[in-house]
Amino acid sequence: MSESAARDLLYQDQQGAMERRALREQELLSTKKAKELKSPKLKIPAPKSGTGFGGSSKKAMSPMQRLASEQAKIVDRDGVLRINQALSPDQSDKLREYVLKQQSIAAVETEKDLRLSKAFYGVENQRKNRCDLQLSLLQGGFAADRDGDVSSIDDSHVLADALQELLGGDGTLRYLYENLVTMDGEFYELASVITNPGSLRQQIHPDLPHKDIAPLYVIFLALQDVNEFMGPTTFLLRTHTAKENAIFNDSSQKDKQLTTADSRLATLNKGDAVLFDARILHCGNANDMEKGSDRALFNFSFRNPKVKDNLGYAGSIRPGYAGAMNLRDISEALIAYGEGDKNPFAKYGDGIFRQV
Mean pLDDT, rounded, of the chain: 92
Average pLDDT over residues 10-30: 86
Q: How confident is the model at residue 5 (pLDDT cuts 50, 70, 90)?
A: low
* pLDDT for res 317: 96
Q: Do residues 302 and 327 touch, judged by C-beta distance below 8 A?
A: yes
Q: List pLDDT tens digits, range 72-119.
A: 999 999 999 999 999 999 999 999 999 999 999 999 998 898 888 888
pTM score, whole prediction: 0.93
What share of the chain in percent tops pLDDT 90?
Answer: 79
Which among 37, 39, 61 is positioned nearest to 48, based on CA atoms?
Answer: 61
pLDDT tens per residue, range 286-301: 999 999 999 999 999 9
User: Position 317: which residue type?
Assistant: I
Average pLDDT over residues 30-51: 84
Confidence class for position 343, pLDDT limits 50, 70, 90? very high
What whole-number distance in Å separates Cα of residue 127 and Cα of residue 92? Answer: 25
Mean pLDDT value across residues 139-152 = 89
Q: How far apart are CA 163 and CA 10, in angstroms?
A: 42
Question: What are 196-213's pLDDT values in tens digits?
Answer: 999 999 999 999 999 999
Q: Which amino acid is at 221?
A: L
- Cα–Cα distance, 301 to 277 (Å, whole number): 10
pLDDT at 42: 92
Residue 323: the pLDDT is 96
User: Which amino acid does the sequence have at 190?
Assistant: L
Query: 334: pLDDT confidence band, cut at 50, 70 and 90?
Result: very high
* Residue-level pLDDT at 251: 94
Q: Which residues pair with 276 in a beta bridge?
A: 80, 218
pLDDT at 6: 61
pLDDT band at 49 (very low <50, low <70, confident <90, very high): low
Of 55-64, 135-144, 164-173, 273-282, the poorest mean pLDDT is in: 55-64
- Written as one letter, the residue type at 303 is R
What is the C-alpha to C-alpha distance for residues 326 and 181, in angstroms, rounded to an integer?
A: 10
Chain-centre distance for alpha carbon 319: 17
Which parts of the chain are beta strand (E)?
A: 35-36, 80-83, 130-134, 186-195, 216-222, 233-236, 263-265, 273-277, 282-284, 295-303
- Is 325's pLDDT higher than 70? yes
pLDDT at 56 over 60: no
* Upper half-sphere CA count for residue 17 (Cβ side, 13 Å): 6
pLDDT digits (tens, 9 = 90+) for 214-238: 999 999 999 999 999 999 999 999 9
Averaged over 179-192, what is the pLDDT? 98
Mean pLDDT: which of 5-14, 60-69, 148-157, 331-340 is highest?
331-340
Please report, rounded to a whole number, the percentage of residues in the chain having pLDDT higher than 70.
92
For residue 126, what pLDDT is reported? 54
Mean pLDDT to the nearest integer, 47-76: 79
The per-residue pLDDT for 59 is 77
Torsion sign (Cα): 310, 274, 319, 165: negative
Q: Is the pLDDT of residue 152 over 90?
A: no
What is the C-alpha R_g of the chain?
21
Give φ, ψ of 153 to 5 degrees. -95, 145
